[in-house]
Amino acid sequence: MNDAETIRYHAARDGRPAELDLLDQTKLPGTLTRLVCTDIDQTHDAIRRLVVRGAPAIGIAAAYGVTLTPVDLSPSADLTEAKNRYRQSIDHLATSRPTAVNLFWALDRMRALVDQSVGSVTDLRDQLVTEAIRVHDEDRQMCRSIGANGAPLLASCRRVMTHCNAGSLATSMWGTALAPMYHLHEAGQTLEVFADETRPLLQGARLTAWELHQAGIPVTVCTDSMAGSLMREGKVDAVIVGADRIAANGDVANKIGTYPLAVLARYHKIPFYVAAPTNTFDAELDSGDGIPIEQRSADEVSYPCGTNAPRQTPEGVPVVNPAFDVTPAELVTALVTEKGVISAPNTEKVLSHLRA
């Protein structure tokens, strides 16, 4: 079994509870360790603290998390009571993080099963486990398809830049933005990758650099502020990032720092690609203006090495710490999904793509 597998699930057996087994990404790259969740609160905390992170992985973890709800499985168990317990768990998990629409997409699938179930409580529990496994399996296939669809866009590149982590650690395998790189690498063509450090939590430096290095793909870490200079020197042939939510018009919410990267790419006439599965799209939002942006603790900026390390900002000075920013569709060269590529995205193209 791969110790670096992002998410594992162990169904209840021999009187033991079900377990959601997560690679603890807060400890990488220094320590490869896992966190086992056996209840809803632990799952909620793991998502909130970024033990598991990345929009697709959050959705998968939440789906499995629902199955950890304690319910009476005896033959006389009350189905209505069990349904209410599952709904409470779903509502609670939905409060863990606000921006990644995959979280709500996965929980809506679980809620639909709860609402429709007419069998026993055991039947409902088994249906929820099956659905969570299906969500996980579907993501594996979406990662491969995104890799295949995005690979031609990068095939003529020697060096690409990415931001945050949209690889295997953010999904079930391969990832979204990194999937085309893995696809090309598997086919014998290896790109050189610049991984933005990604302040303040360093997902690029800690996670993207770690997983690409493990896979044998050449990767160099750069600070976020170096991107423009590297582009000006002709060292970047394309930029590709993931997404946490994409509006109907193609506006993209992704890790903070993505928007200025897109602006720099446009100025330097470098293609800017966004890779994400169709379940990251929110067709109910006309534009990115309606995407909720998670505001995280100031301590992540003031104490970048943890609260046990010296403070890096003066006492009494406010800190702003949005987790995401929104990149307008006009700056996006193309969106890559498991269905194909949307060049120069707009509302008509996005909606047509989602309906296909």
User: Which residues are marked as active site?
Assistant: 244
**Strand 341-343 versus strand 334-336 pairing type:** antiparallel
User: Angle at the Cα of 256 (from 250 to 257), degrees rounded to 5?
Assistant: 90
Q: Report d(CA 237, CA 219) in Å as an integer.
A: 15
Q: Report d(CA 284, CA 101) in Å as an integer.
A: 11
Q: At what angle do helices 55-66 and 121-154 cross, to 10 degrees?
A: 170
- At 342 the three-state DSSP class reads strand
What are the tokens at 203? 């997902």
- Residue 200 CB partners (closer than 8 Å, separation 6+): 300, 301, 304, 321
In one-letter notation, the amino acid at residue 86 is Y
Question: Do 57 and 169 touch, CB atoms closer than 8 A?
Answer: yes
Q: Which of 84, 93, 75 is nearest to 117 (CA)?
A: 84
Q: Report d(CA 228, CA 209) in Å as an integer.
A: 20
Name the H helices within the chain: 40-48, 55-66, 79-93, 101-116, 121-154, 179-186, 203, 209-215, 227-232, 258-267, 299-302, 347-355
What are the tokens at 186? 């598997």
Question: Do 262 and 185 touch, CB atoms closer than 8 A?
Answer: no
Q: Report d(CA 178, CA 180) in Å as an integer.
A: 6
**Maximum C-alpha span of the chain:** 71
Question: Do 251 and 310 touch, CB atoms closer than 8 A?
Answer: no
